[in-house]
Structure 1
């Protein structure tokens, strides 16, 4: 687990790891990563009957500890059946509240991964939110931590890594969510 109070040298190292992962991306990976949240936004519109906030909120609520394919399947099924299923109670409660009309920002933890995931899907061109998941963490620390806890529920640790992605994005000349998505594509396709 990275220290909550990282030194400037550590922060620079995390940022360099992110930019190195970006530089390792093929042109195809950069294209797919840049379009990732746009495609997720289109899915959110499709499954929700045109309500991007609702579709994005349900996708985000059902995202924890699920692959993207499973996340999509559960969200699509929730809208078809009118109720969420196949996840832990907390995620299901959040998804059901969003489907019943509660604003996702009133349901989701807006200062952590799930809230930022919602914001990136709802508006793929928003330059503020950064999704820091286990993959984003592992990219920044240059090692795969497996099933170990990365401590990303700690707001200071989460924000430290988000700031490193923002700094890398400024250096690259791209918005942070696209840097995160491109590096995520490279990271998951590493084998």
Structure 2
């Protein structure tokens, strides 16, 4: 687990690892990563009958420990059936509250991954939100953690990595969410 209290040297190394992953992404991976949140935004609108924020909230609520394809399947099913299922009780309860009209920002933990995932899907041009999931973590620290705990529930650790993605985005000249998505695509498609 990375330290909660980091040094400027550690932050610089994390930022450089992100930039390096970006630079090593293929043109196709960069194209797909840049489009990732826009495509998710369109899906959110479609599954929620034009209520994009609601669709984004349900997608985010049902995202923890699920592949993107499974996440989409569960969210579609929730809107089709009128109730969420197929996940842990907490995620189902959050999705159901959002589906019945509670604003996602009142339901989701807005200071960590799930809240940021919602923000990026709801507004793909959000200049601050950045999703730090296990892949984003592993990219920044330059190591595949596998099943080891990354400690991303700790706000300070989460914010350290989010700030590193923002710094990398500034160097690259892209939005932080696009840098995260491009590097995510490159990371999961590594050989």
TM category (shorter chain) comes to over 0.9
Measure the CA separation in 1 of the matches of 2:21 and 2:34: 14
Measure the CA separation in 2 of the matches of 1:147 and 1:50: 37
> In the TM superposition, what whole-angstrom CA distance separates every residue of 1:21-63 from its partner, at most 9, and x where no partner exists?
0000111000000000000000000000000000000000000
- The residue number in structure 1 matching 2:122 is 122
The number of aligned residues is: 191
Shift in Å, 1:100: 0.2
Shift in Å, 1:131: 0.3
- The residue number in structure 2 matching 1:78 is 78
- The residue number in structure 1 matching 2:17 is 17
- The residue number in structure 1 matching 2:27 is 27
Measure the CA separation in 1 of the matches of 2:152 and 2:63: 15
Shift in Å, 1:163: 0.2
SS at 2:117 equivalent: helix
Shift in Å, 1:154: 0.2
TM-score by length of structure 1 reads: 1.00
Q: Which runs of 5+ in 1 are unaligned?
A: none
RMSD: 0.4
Find out whether 1:37 has 2:41 as its counterpart.
no
Measure the CA separation in 2 of the matches of 1:115 and 1:134: 15
- The residue number in structure 1 matching 2:63 is 63
Measure the CA separation in 1 of the matches of 2:71 and 2:168: 28
- The residue number in structure 2 matching 1:170 is 170
SS at 2:85 equivalent: coil
SS at 2:60 equivalent: helix
Shift in Å, 1:166: 0.2
Measure the CA separation in 2 of the matches of 1:75 and 1:149: 27
Measure the CA separation in 2 of the matches of 1:16 and 1:112: 22
> In the TM superposition, what whole-angstrom CA distance separates every residue of 1:45-93 from its partner, at most 9, and x where no partner exists?
0000000000000000000000000000000000000000000000000
TM-score by length of structure 2 reads: 1.00
